[in-house]
Amino acid sequence: MKTKSKIFVATLMALIAITFACTRPQPEDLIIGTWKVDTIFTTNVDTSLVDPMRLQQVLEMQKQVYFVINENGQMDLISPFGAKTANWEMNNDSLILTATFIDNNQVSKIKFDEITKEKLVLKEESNTGTFITEYRKQ
């Protein structure tokens, strides 16, 4: 009788664990909404490769860019230079969003370091330095 009780409890615990795992929001659900730059951090910037004043100008322009990710599989990227629309897909395991821009079929892959209900973190490393951009949901 004790063995059957142990099996029953183990089975029940497994079902509860599976239920909680399935109800936890997936990254593709969390990214739906309007996202604006909150902060941009820079580290290891090589000033021999980039003019600090020019870099500051680029970062200020980046702060004006925002995007809207819709449930219908489309996203809009809005910048001072205009708006672009893309179809998007999210890989929940790798946190890579693939955007295919409608006007020119250009494909862009965006690897997020963190995705939560209120924050997206994007880390980009280049030969000029490391740039960490935090977006907040509006």
Give the pLDDT score at 20: 59
Give the pLDDT score at 117: 94
Please say whether the dihedral angle defined by the alpha carbons of residues 19, 31, 99 and 45, taken in this order, is positive or negative: negative
Structural domains of the chain, ranges and CATH numbers in brackets: 27-137 (2.40.128.270)
Question: What is the C-alpha to C-alpha distance for residues 97 and 120, in angstroms, rounded to an integer?
Answer: 12
Helix (H, G, I), strand (E, B) or coil at 47: coil
Rg (CA), the chain: 21
34-73 as b/e: b if 16+ CB within 10 A: ebebeeeebeeeeeeebeeeebeeeeeeeeebbbbbeeee
Q: How far is CA 26 from CA 22, 63, 115, 119, in A?
A: 9, 27, 9, 14
Residues of the chain with pLDDT under 70: 1-2, 4-6, 8-12, 14-23
What is the reported pTM? 0.77
Give the pLDDT score at 47: 87
